[in-house]
Amino acid sequence: MQKNYTDINEYFDFVRQRQAEGIAAAKLRGVHIGRPKKTVPENFGELVKLWESKVLKTSDMLLLCKMSRANFYRRLKEYRQSLEMENKDKEVSSENT
């Protein structure tokens, strides 16, 4: 029985090694591995402004964006960070002129 367990263990080690090699090769080729990102609507910024001003409820926002609550808050965080980066870039460019 012990020999069978060892054989199975070695086989799974081999599979893990081959899988890791395949993932590394795919990353070098630039292949995306994993679930595709949910895209935000074109008017996401406008919807966020309406949501922040309490015109839209969160549930309405989720329906309009066609995403889960967790995904919405993740995209909201990314959106706000991109706005902050744009503002910093504007400040730097205005200081240089």
Assign 96 a pLDDT band (cuts: 50, 70, 90). Answer: low
Parent domain of 62:
44-96
- How many Å is the maximal CA-CA distance in the chain? 77
Does residue 1 carry a pLDDT above 70? no
Q: Looking at the domain assignment, is residue 57 inside a domain?
A: yes
Q: Looking at the domain assignment, is residue 86 inside a domain?
A: yes
For 34-89, write each residue's pLDDT tens digit: 888 888 999 999 999 999 999 999 999 999 999 999 999 999 999 999 999 888 87
Q: Looking at the domain assignment, is residue 25 inside a domain?
A: yes
Q: Looking at the domain assignment, is residue 85 inside a domain?
A: yes
* Tokens 């199975």, residue located: 8
Q: Looking at the domain assignment, is residue 7 inside a domain?
A: yes
Assign 67 to helix, strand or coil: coil
Q: Looking at the domain assignment, is residue 75 inside a domain?
A: yes
Q: Is residue 67 located within the same domain as residue 89?
A: yes
The stretch 8-28 carries a mean pLDDT of 93
What is the reported pLDDT for 97? 61
